[in-house]
Chain A
Amino acid sequence: MSRDEMNEWLERLLRHERRAVAKLISRVEDDRGRAEIMHSVRAHSGKSLVVGITGPPGVGKSSLVEALTRYYRENGERVGIVAVDPSSPYTGGAILGDRIRMQAHTTDRDVFIRSMGTRGHLGGVARSTADVLRILEAGGYGRLLLETVGVGQSEIEIMRLADTVVVVLNPGTGDGIQAIKAGIMEVADIFVVNKSDMPGAERMKNDIEMMLDLNGGAGPLRRPPVVLTSALQALGIPELGEAIAEQQAFLRESGQIKIRRQVQLQRETWHYLEEKVRALFDGTWPQIPQDWLEAGERDPFGLVEKVWAKMTGGRDVS
């Protein structure tokens, strides 16, 4: 894509044209002009807070996103959704099926849903998910919802992307709490017990509350509320919406949002730098002399120093 072409798409994005939103997302996702595009998009985004929905597979994340979308649409908000599903580690292919639960909003021009494969990225999201959210915002979708892949214990990269982390669990999965208590448990701003029409919902809520009691003064500054919902029966959705609003008001009023954004910036900068270093390493490795490799068999740490020196020697990392 030529610079003129890209500028035209960016102009169309700011006019809130859906095709431009879609095309620029693909460009960024495919890493074709990503830095240039994001440089422009960033100038027109960053105000909206991102609600991230995460939790184990099958707990109802997509259905909750659908229900929340309905809730925000009733308030007249325009909703941008990114739904991430895993890519195959073998072929890179993916089945992206989150839209199925969100069909009701497909032809609503004030809702934009984009599915992403993780494309080898770990942590529950894709490499460029943060960028895609900002493109949606610049394209006029002010209410941003992110659905991660189904996660287990330690996929906490959602912290880098979401201002409100909603961890979704189900009744009767007490062991599930055990599994997450060290990982996702610590990053939740709000807990949701979904499928609360099933037996054991109150007990699950109590289990979570008890664990939060154990936190004492440590951990997040604000104790996460525990909300009972049934996405399919539309129960507890306004309560969840209010919990999100309260947490976001707290972020803004306490100044916490600034701290979060700085942490996010640091992590995003690191990720981008990491990619550059990797590319530089991949380019350098084939050029290193054979005797370095032989020496490296005895001393990989020494080899690291030499390769690092060759990678950076007198050259700019850009």
Chain B
Amino acid sequence: MSQSRIRVLVGKPGLDGHDRGAKVIARALRDAGMEVIYSGLHQTPEEIVEAAIQEDVDVIGLSILSGAHLTIFPRVKELLREQEAEDILLIGGGTIPEEDVEVLLRQGFAEALFTPGTPTGEIVGWIKQRLEKKGPEPARAND
């Protein structure tokens, strides 16, 4: 019997230390049955991609409130490509202006971006839909 679980790395790249949002998201994903690896604060793109590869995650979620999103998303995407790990979905959230969201999505630097006010259920739903093959294991008797 398969015991597959969706695995997500929640990362805080860059210099801002506001991780409340990242923790709220991590908790919501946990409650949706996912395994969430939390990287901690002040991670470089290199550290995030390396951790994602070692942990073999399905999704990287970046929380960025520092304004560095136009630098960090492309850099993470580039590193994933270098490591032949483009199958890992890259999503993010934080204070990202609408026009930058469009730029990042249009140029393929992120698969989805969720800005403040997004219900956590929407993020859970998006991930589950993209990874339908890996749904949680149905409950078994006597477990």
> Is there an interface contact between A22 and B55, defined as CB atoms closer than 8 Å?
yes
Q: Mark B99-143, 1 if CB is under 8 A from A, else 0.
A: 000000000000000000000000000000000000011001111
B50 touches A99 (CB 8 A): no
Check B4–A30 contact: CB distance below 8 A.
Answer: yes
Contacts A95-B26, A114-B54; is A87 near B35 (CB within 8 Å)?
Answer: yes
B53 in complex: contacting residue of A18, A92, A119, CB < 8 Å: A18
Contacts of B4 in A (CB 8 A): 30, 32
Whether A91 and B30, one on each chain, are in contact in the complex, defined by CB atoms closer than 8 angstroms, is: yes
Tell me whether chain A's interface is mostly helix, strand or loop, or mixed: mixed
B84 CB within 8 Å of chain A: yes
Asked whether A112 is an interface residue with its Cβ less than 8 Å from the other chain, the reply is yes
A29 CB, min distance to chain B CBs, angstroms: 7
Nearest neighbor of A106 in chain B, beta-carbon distance: B47
Which chain B residues border A19 with CB–CB below 8 Å?
53, 83-85
Stretch in contact with the other chain, from A40-48, A210-218, A275-283, A289-297:
A275-283
Q: Is B32 an interface residue, CB under 8 A from the partner?
A: yes
Interfacial chain A residues near B51, Cβ < 8 Å: 99, 106, 113
Set of chain B residues within 8 Å of A120, measured between Cβ atoms: 143
B33 interface residue, CB < 8 Å from A? yes
Assembly CA distance A23 to B32 (angstroms): 23
Q: How far is the CB of B20 from chain A (nearest CB, A)?
A: 15
- Determine if A7 is an interface residue (Cβ-Cβ < 8 Å): no
Interface residues of A in 44-95 (CB under 8 A from B): 87-88, 91-95
Number of interface residues, chain B, beta carbon within 8 A? 39
* Contact of A119 with B5 in the complex, beta carbons under 8 Å: yes
How far, in Å, is A87 (CB) from chain B's closest CB?
7
Known pairs A32-B2, A107-B46, A107-B50; A100 contacts B40 (CB<8 A):
yes
Contact at B140–A31, with CB atoms within 8 Å? no
Give the chain B neighbours of A201 by CB distance below 8 A.
Answer: none
Whether A119 touches B3, Cβ cut-off 8 Å, given contacts A22-B54, A103-B47, is yes
The one of B1, B40, B136 that contacts A99, using a Cβ cutoff of 8 Å: B40
**A167 interfacial contact with B, CB 8 Å:** no
Distance between Cα atoms of A94 and B29 in the complex (Å): 9
Interface centre among B1, B34, B37, B137 (most CB of A within 10 A): B37
Query: Does B43 belong to the interface (CB within 8 Å)?
Result: yes
Of chain B, the residue at the smallest CB distance from A92 is: B33
Which residues in chain A, 95-123, are within 8 Å of chain B measured between CB atoms?
95-97, 99-100, 103, 106-107, 112-115, 117, 119-120
Query: Chain A: interface residue count, which band?
Result: 35 or more
> Bound complex: CA of A25 vs CA of B51, how far in Å?
14
Q: B75 in the interface, Cβ–Cβ < 8 Å?
A: no
Q: A19-B83, A91-B31, A113-B54 are in contact. Are A30 and B38 (CB under 8 A)?
A: no
Determine the distance from Cα of A120 to Cα of B55 in the docked complex, in whole angstroms: 19
Give, as a whole number of angstroms, the nearest-CB distance from A24 to chain B.
9
Complex CA gap A91/B46 in Å reads: 31
Tell whether, in the assembled complex, residue A96 and residue B47 are in contact, meaning their CB atoms are under 8 Å apart. no
New A-B pairs, 16, CB < 8 Å, besides A91-B31, A99-B51: A22-B56, A26-B56, A30-B4, A30-B5, A31-B3, A32-B4, A87-B35, A91-B33, A93-B35, A94-B30, A97-B38, A99-B37, A99-B38, A100-B39, A106-B51, A127-B3
Q: Give residues in B with beta carbon < 8 Å to A.
A: 1-5, 7, 26-27, 29-40, 43-44, 46-47, 50-51, 53-56, 83-85, 136-137, 140-143
Closest 5 CB pairs of A and B: A100-B40, A93-B30, A22-B56, A106-B47, A30-B4
